[in-house]
A and B are shown apart, each in its own frame.
Chain A
Amino acid sequence: MLSAGLGTILWTSIAFLIVLGLLKKMAWKPILKSLKDREDFISDSLKSAENANAQLSQLKADNEKLLAEARVEREKMLKEAKEIGEDIVAKARKAAIEEEQRIMNKAKQEIENEKTAAIAELKVQVVSLSIKMAETVLKKEFENKDMQMKLVEENLKSASLN
């Protein structure tokens, strides 16, 4: 019962080797290859998905960083603008004050000058009027001798030499 017949051995060898050869060529190679390909495909896909994810998060981080930078920049710009604005206003105010001062000074000067000129004019006018009046008075006074004498006397009286 447990004897190995030569016929069985022969036929088994033939059958097994044929099946081995056939399956190797038409089944195992394509099946193992596509299994490998599919596994590679899946692992590649997973890897690339991971990469994409990493890139995405990198991008997100970059964006955030950019956003933060932009915010800082804005802040800075606003601050600078404010400073510049304030500066401009301050400068403008200072300039305005200076100009006002200058104009005021100039006006004062001019007023002073005008005043001086007016006073000088007035003086001249007053002097000439006085002279005219004095002339007129003198002309009238000195028509009469007595009167002349009287005046001298009076002046002399007031100009007593004590």
Chain B
Amino acid sequence: MASNLKLAEKQNFTLNMHFKRNIGFVLFTLFSFVSFASHDSVSHETAAVEAHSTENSHEQNHEQKFDAGEMIIHHITDAHEIHFFTLNEGTPAEKHFSIYLPVIIKDENGFHFFSASHFYHNKKNAEVNGKHVHYYEHDGFILSGEKIYKAEGEEKVTFNEKGEVANASVLDLSPTKSVVGLFITALILILLFGAAARKYRKNPNAAPSGVQGLLETLVIFIRDEVVIPSIGHKHASRFMPFCLTTFFFIWIANILGMIPFIGGFNIMGTLGVTIVLATIVFIMTTINGKPYYWTHILWPHGVPLPIKFILVPIEIIGIFMKPLVLMIRLTANMTAGHIIFLALTSLVFIFGQSSAVAGYGVGVGSLAFMIFMYFIELLVAFLQAYVFTLLAASYFGSALEEPHH
């Protein structure tokens, strides 16, 4: 636990470091090694992928300087588009290959629906205190840092001294990239387990075959190594569906985030996603709390009265802290993994800027390290799903604990 928290802290620190830099506009996908190599390849437009060129004169930066911080933040942040890759970057023929997601916002005039392509096709640049910032504008709304604000007045957009948009924000109910990733995960889960369940129904006593074998191993693992030891035989079956769903949901979503060229999903690194999982864990723990659990928190036995005054507030904070930590751990771990990949990729570009030879030289080392990290991240993808499920199960277990005499 302690080491995990430490890790999370470290990751947050890394995040903050990257926050501070904010110039330039360079787009490429999570694993853009190949697109880097084939920079001048001919673009194909497909039905699913809409391409648009940003030839606007005000579009490009005055100097093409690669900013790793900006790039990394851009890639780990949830977005209103699923961006695959950019062709002819930095030239007038620049093309972005993206799926633009629907925008659903609500202001005092009611709901507004439109495609996010309107935003991304209307990029504006501004200078605030000598700092270069960009934002998108459409139909009285401003998109900046993937947040939507209401355009106001003649200027439409106002900035604070940090260069952040200071307009009033609107209620954004858009299905973002992470939501789409979530729905893909949901679909994969339903198809995968629907197929497996059919096999079980058809042939209940046959030896498992194919993907059923892998899933069965994991299902049994979750049941016998996670849920039953944490919750006990008596209540385990009640929590099995949630624990299994959570585990596979997180795991598949994490795996999805590791597949290159599908937009670099960072589903479990999105706070909006993990907060839901943590909230469900919190609600389930709270409503399942037995009297023993509550007395343990509110009036612990065998503790001197003065200690109780210290202990009880800590325990009460703990009720909320536990799911909070669950949420932060998952988000930070998955985001950290993505940041490592992006940082390693950035290294190539940073060196590539000084000389092509240095870029390729560093690229070899970076690539080797990325391959190594890939295996680590595959493990982490599983591990974080396991840890989340294990801790959730142990919270349920503690809520259901019976006094043992």
Q: Mark A residues whose CB is within 8 Å of B.
A: 1-13, 15-16, 18-20, 22-24, 26-35, 37-38, 41
Greatest chain A CB density within 10 A among B73, B174, B331 is at B174
Q: A-side binding surface: helix, strand, loop or mixed? A: helix
Which residues of chain A are near B280, meaning CB under 8 Å? 16
Look across to chain B and name the residue whose beta carbon is closest to the beta carbon of A13: B276
CA distance A35 to B271 in the complex (A): 35
Contact present for A6 and B271 (CB under 8 Å): no
A-B contact pairs, 27 of them (CB 8 A): A1-B77, A1-B145, A2-B15, A6-B171, A7-B175, A8-B176, A8-B272, A12-B178, A12-B179, A12-B273, A13-B276, A15-B182, A16-B186, A19-B186, A24-B245, A26-B197, A28-B245, A30-B200, A31-B196, A31-B197, A31-B216, A31-B219, A32-B219, A32-B237, A33-B200, A37-B205, A41-B205
The answer on a CB contact under 8 Å between A30 and B197 is yes
Are the CB atoms of A4 and B275 closer together than 8 Å? yes
Count A-B pairs with CB separation below 8 Å.
129
B107 CB, nearest partner CB in chain A, Å:
13
> A16-B249, A23-B244, A24-B241 are contacts. A34–B275 as well, Cβ < 8 Å?
no
Chain B residues within an 8 Å CB radius of A13: 276
B317 → A minimal CB distance (Å): 20
Do residues A1 and B73 form an inter-chain contact, with CB atoms below 8 A? Answer: yes
User: Chain B residues near A15 (CB, 8 Å)?
Assistant: 179, 182-183, 186
Chain B interface bracket (under 10, 10 to 19, 20 to 34, 35 or more): 35 or more
- List of A residues within 8 angstroms of B273 by Cβ: 8, 12
How far in angstroms is the closest Cβ of chain A from B75? Answer: 10
**Also in contact, A35 and B216, with CB within 8 A (given A15-B179, A28-B244, A30-B201):** yes
Q: Which of the 9-residue segments B187-195, B297-305, B391-399 touches chain A?
A: B187-195
Interface core residue of A13, A15, A41 (most chain B CB under 10 Å): A15
Question: CB distance A12 to B276 under 8 Å?
Answer: yes
B277 interface residue per 8 A CB criterion: yes
Whether A11 lies near B179 (C-beta < 8 A) is: yes
Query: Is A16's CB under 8 angstroms from B219's CB?
Result: no
Is B197 a contact of A27 with CB atoms below 8 Å? yes
Contacts of B272 in A (CB 8 A): 4-9, 12
- The residues of A that contact B182 with a CB separation of less than 8 Å are 11-12, 15-16
Pick the most buried of A5, A6, A28: most chain B CB atoms within 10 A of its CB. Answer: A5
User: Which A residues lie within 8 Å of B205 (CB)?
Assistant: 34, 37-38, 41
Residues of chain B within 8 A (CB-CB) of A37 are 204-205
CB distance from A89 to the nearest CB of B (A): 72
Known: A2-B331, A8-B270. 17 other contacts (CB 8 A): A1-B15, A1-B73, A3-B271, A5-B174, A7-B272, A11-B182, A12-B179, A15-B183, A24-B245, A26-B194, A27-B190, A27-B193, A28-B193, A32-B237, A33-B200, A35-B220, A35-B223
- Contact at A38–B275, with CB atoms within 8 Å? no
A18 to B197, CA, bound (A): 17
A24–B248 Cα distance when bound, in Å, is 13
**When chains A and B are docked, how far (Å) is the Cα of A11 from the Cα of B240?**
23
Instruction: Say whether, besides A1-B15, A23-B241, A34-B201, A6 and B173 are in contact (CB < 8 Å).
Output: yes
A4 to B276, CA, bound (A): 10
Q: Check if B147 is an interface residue, CB within 8 A of chain A.
A: yes
Q: Are the CB atoms of A1 and B19 closer together than 8 Å?
A: yes
Query: Which A residues lie within 8 Å of B172 (CB)?
Result: 5-7
Contacts of B175 in A (CB 8 A): 7, 11
Judge whether A20 and B173 touch: CB under 8 Å: no
Residue of A nearest to B271 (CB): A4
